[in-house]
Amino acid sequence: SLANRLQDTFNRLRGKGKLSESDVKEAMREVRLALLEADVNFKVVKDFVEKVRERAIGQEVLQSLTPGQHVIKIVNDELTELMGGSQAKLNISNKPPTVIMMVGLQGAGKTTHTGKLAKLLQKEKKKPLLVACDIYRPAAIKQLQVLGEQLQVPVFSLGDQVSPVEIARKGLEHAISYGHDYVLIDTAGRLHIDETLMDELRNIKEAVQPSEILLVVDAMTGQVAVEVAETFNNTLDVTGTILTKLDGDTRGGAALSIRAVTGTPIKYVGTGEKIDAIEPFHPDRMASRILGMGDVLTLIEKAQASIDQDKAMDLERKMRNADFTLEDFLDQLSQVKNLGPLDQILGMLPGMNKVKGMQNMNVDDKQINRIEAIIQSMTPAERREPKLIDSSRRKRIAKGSGMTVQDVNRLLKQFEEMQKMMKQFSGMAKKMKGKKGKK
Ligand code: GDP
Ligand code: MG
């Protein structure tokens, strides 16, 4: 899957200290392939990769926490941007009622999502009216009426012998005289785009002047969804998209492309057949989901805000060279405290739950305070060279920090383990470098 492939790529990046131009190039080749495989529009992929490449190589990389993390952030930012940036809300008419017209191919989910939207509006104490303008599909009117009954929302219908344009117009009049603040117009679809349908939709639009024309597209149709979006947009100037059936075994391609191709935001996603299976579309969340890296981005943002960049780089170098001392540990602890609860931070790191022993480390803030107190009771020489700390020194440190000798022992033991782990990591990094040099 796209998520897996990207994750593999970024896992490789994450092991690196520095990011060269060729690293970025290699990573971007993977990203491009992954996106193309996920059915993302070719041109969208090309632009995307170019943008990320430009941003990733050079100065910005140097300023980041680690180059790998920075590239991840850039990819995420650009994916988010590609899908519209921030969350897009429904347009509201300043002269109520607000008219929302649902358009799209047959079977995309227009009728279902008319119901879902009505339910959302109902929750906000709005008074929607549903208007049944699909007079062609057998039982389409009935389907809307059943939804209306279920929600206790009125449905306006004139049967299937009156033109949809007329139904829409009368429906709006009805809404005005009955004090509805929203009118949701459910229209007909075809199995494929045809001119008769487009003309009809254009005429309905003309008649009711909707604030919102929502294109309902089935995410499972991939690249076809993008073509549909383009055609509907050219005819009707849609104002937003609802991407349905994201609960299925869908690839992320449509979500990535639709906004880029039509210039209109995805406003909601449909995640099931049930009436409340609808969610506002969050481009940033979608991007993170596509990247499949949990809350790693939240972590990066937090870290960037509160850790001094130079210090972080310095620390990273020290960790790689395994000359990390108790002094550095103390320094790091005070920075970690600014980030938030330590176990939460560790939980955000990808792969951290896989590191042996990390699960039960369970460090809380109180524990950090205790560790700080112990280290602060050591002399600078002891902090640099823990081997100096014999049993009489341990007693002194315990006394000075108000802890027991066992507490001091435990800390020193933990620190020793940590150093071992870092040595292993740095050994691994050196090996990897050697390998790369050979080929
Ligand atoms: P319309 O022809 O555009 O009005 O499409 P419908 O609203 O009648 O939906 C067509 C089919 O897709 C129905 O069986 C719906 O239950 C189903 N459907 C709609 N939205 C979703 C969704 O988000 N997830 C899933 N799994 N099924 C959906
Ligand atoms: Mg329908």
Q: Which of 101, 105, 106, 112 to mutate to test the pocket of ligand 1 (most atoms within 8 A of CB)?
A: 112
pTM of the model: 0.65
Taking CA atoms, 270 is separated from 159, 243, 388, in Å, by 28, 6, 63
Q: How far is the CA of 109 from the centre of ligand 1 (A)?
A: 4
Q: What average pLDDT does the segment 413-431 reach?
A: 68
Is 189 annotated to bind ligand?
Answer: yes
**Looking at 243-252, 346-355, 358-367, 414-423, which range is the least confident one?**
346-355
Residue nearest to atom 9 of ligand 1 (CA): 109
Q: Compute the distance between CA of residue 73 and CA of residue 64 in angstroms, rounded to an integer.
A: 10
Q: Is 38 known to sit in a ligand binding site?
A: no
Tokens of 372: 């700080």
Given a cut of 50, whether residue 358 has pLDDT beyond it is: no
Please compute the mean of the pLDDT values over residues 16-36 and round it to a whole number: 68
Task: Place 86 in a pLDDT band, splitting at 50, 70 and 90.
Answer: confident
pLDDT in tens, 359-406: 444 455 677 778 888 998 898 889 888 889 999 999 999 998 899 999
Q: What integer pLDDT is reported at residue 352 of this predicted model? A: 44
Q: Is 6 annotated as a binding residue?
A: no
- Among all bound ligands, the one having the nearest atom to the CA of 116 is 1
Instruction: Work out the burial of residue 74: count CB atoms within 10 Å of its CB; fewer than 13 is exposed, 13-18 middle, 19 or more buried.
Output: buried
Residue pair 98/211 in contact by the 8 Å Cβ criterion: yes
Please identify every residue whose CB atom is under 5 Å from ligand 2, which is an ion: 110-111, 140
Which residue intervals of 152-272 are DSSP H helices?
Answer: 164-177, 195-208, 223-236, 253-262
Q: What is the pLDDT of residues 46-67, one digit of tens each?
A: 888 888 888 777 644 444 445 5
Band (pLDDT 50/70/90 cuts) for residue 257 is confident
For residue 15, say whether it is annotated as part of any ligand binding site: no
Query: Strands 182-186 and 155-156: what pairing?
Result: unpaired
Other beta carbons less than 10 A from residue 185's beta carbon? 30
The count of C-alpha atoms lying within 13 angstroms of the C-alpha of 237, restricted to the half-sphere facing its C-beta, is 5
Q: Does the C-beta of 270 come closer than 6 Å to ligand 1?
A: yes
pLDDT in tens, 127-166: 999 999 999 988 999 999 999 999 999 999 999 999 999 9
- The minimum-distance atom of ligand 1 relative to the CA of 134 is 4
Q: Is 273 in the pocket of ligand 1 (CB under 6 A)?
A: yes
Does residue 328 or residue 195 have the better pLDDT? 195
Angle at 281 between CA 168 and CA 83, to 5 degrees: 105
Ligand 1 in contact with 419 (CB < 6 A)? no
What pLDDT shows up at residue 114? 98
How confident is the model at residue 310, as a pLDDT? 56
